[in-house]
Amino acid sequence: MTIQTILQWLVAHQYLLGWIGVISLLVFSLSLLSLPWLVAMIPEDYFLSQKRKQTILKNESFGIWIVIFILKNSIGLLLVTGGILMLFLPGQGVLTIIAGLIMTDYPGKFELERRIVSNKKILEKLNWLRNKANQPSLKIDN
């Protein structure tokens, strides 16, 4: 594939490049607006217990729980996808991926979250965002 062929393809698909730029800007803006709020919503003792606490809503109102479950996982997957894109495009890729992983439910999630957040640099960044939102720092087991 020559450079001329690539340039011809780019000229022929300018609309695609425009849409990629618009989507990149939208995901970047959404992450800047939502990430600090999402990090601030994590309970400060979230990573201290050895096991995840069972939600009361799941047992008492399964219909509402399933709607919240689907909505929460959809937002989480969107954040993970956007974070992966932001590794190559402008944005806070790693923090967005972490926020998406926290929102999404999957086997072994809690152990993975604890391992990721126990990284000193990641914990510092998360706590920096929490401090800007006037929330106490996250507590972790050492």
22-52 pLDDT, tens digit each: 877 787 787 778 888 888 888 888 888 766 6
The verdict on residue 139 lying in a domain is no
Q: Classify burial at 83, counting beta carbons within 10 Å of its beta carbon; exposed 0-12, middle 13-18, buried 19 or more.
A: buried
The verdict on residue 21 lying in a domain is yes
User: Which pLDDT belongs to residue 127?
Assistant: 92
The verdict on residue 101 lying in a domain is yes
Mean pLDDT of 104-117: 85
State how far the alpha carbon of 114 is from the alpha carbons of 43, 108, 111, in Å. 13, 10, 5
Pick from 56, 39, 53: which is nearest to 127 by CA?
39
The most confident of 15-24, 26-35, 59-68, by mean pLDDT: 59-68
Q: Is 27 within 8 Å of 85 (Cβ atoms)?
A: yes
Number of domains forming the structure of the chain = 1
The verdict on residue 55 lying in a domain is yes
The verdict on residue 138 lying in a domain is no
The verdict on residue 52 lying in a domain is yes
Mean residue pLDDT across the chain: 83
Helix (H) or strand (E) holding 66: helix 62-86
The verdict on residue 64 lying in a domain is yes
User: Which pLDDT belongs to residue 73?
Assistant: 93
The whole domain housing 116 covers 3-132
Per-residue pLDDT at 77 exceeds 70: yes
User: Which pLDDT belongs to residue 96?
Assistant: 79
Dist CA 131 CA 136 (whole Å) = 7
The verdict on residue 72 lying in a domain is yes
Residue with tokens 């974070």: 83
Using 50, 70 and 90 to split pLDDT, how confident is the model at 4?
A: confident
